[in-house]
Amino acid sequence: MKTELESMGLWPGSVPVRNPLKMVSLWRGPPQPELIDSVDDFPCAKYFQLHPFFIWKPENDNLMGRLRNNYTLPCIDGCAQPQIASAGVGRPRVIVGITGQYYLLSSRLCCKVCRKRWYADNPSWLEKLPKRFTNLLPAVLTYKKAICKSVLDELRRTGKSPTDMAKQITEMMHLKYERADLAYLLSCKNIMDGEEGKYDQKTITQFLRQETKPAPFGEYGDSDGWNGISVSAHYLTDCLLCVC
């Protein structure tokens, strides 16, 4: 996330980017790990463990100025003439969607008048925003929970019980993890096949690298790896109660 934000000039202290609006989506997808150049070495498992993220920085005019128009962002405390500015990097919050998990990266805001600070995903601040802002968010945020709109839609569409829904999402998320694991193993195998001479000419990279075999991919829930989260029926029920 840091690298991506730096390239867009959104990370504090990064070089300003001339036209970040060339990017007209707030979504950032991970790179295709198979295409990252690493023929001398086994691929890094980390590249296979990245999830998409959604950038939520309503105060950033390069990014969201068109949506803001001439509207003045409100202060969370209700100051009459608020001055809202960015106050740091912000924080990511993990969201469960129908096709997997992603992160919602919200900026940290401050009001220069009353000096209050809060995160841009704070529900009581979101309530004060015009609908065109919150409509853009992929998730519904409440005081305790966050739920992807895709999950809400699916719950309504299918009439599934929270238990069945939790099961479906859990299956999907584990499937996604297994595919990523497989993609990583196939990429490693590609290197080894080359070294064994399967592609006619033997590559010599095995003499250059330190490791003789690839590092393990890690488990579903490893916090420094895939970082897969679990979804319970209880959680979904809570979300529904908060939203409806």
Among 79, 89, 94, 136, the residue binding Zn ion under the rule CB under 5 A is 79
Distance (Å, whole) CA 22 – CA 15: 16
User: What x-and-dash track marks residues 146-185 binding Zn ion by CB under 5 A?
Assistant: ----------------------------------------
Residue 121 beta carbon to Zn ion: minimum distance, rounded to whole angstroms? 18
Site for Zn ion in 196-215 (CB under 5 A): none
Q: Does 233 bind Zn ion (CB under 5 A)?
A: no
Q: Does 77 bind Zn ion (CB under 5 A)?
A: yes
Q: Which of 67, 89, 98, 113 binds Zn ion (CB under 5 A)?
A: 113
Interacting residue with Zn ion among 1, 67, 114, 233 (CB under 5 A): 114
Q: Which stretch binds Zn ion (CB under 5 A): 92-100, 104-112, 142-150, 202-210?
A: 104-112
Q: Which residues bind Zn ion (CB under 5 A)?
A: 75, 77, 79, 82, 111, 113-114
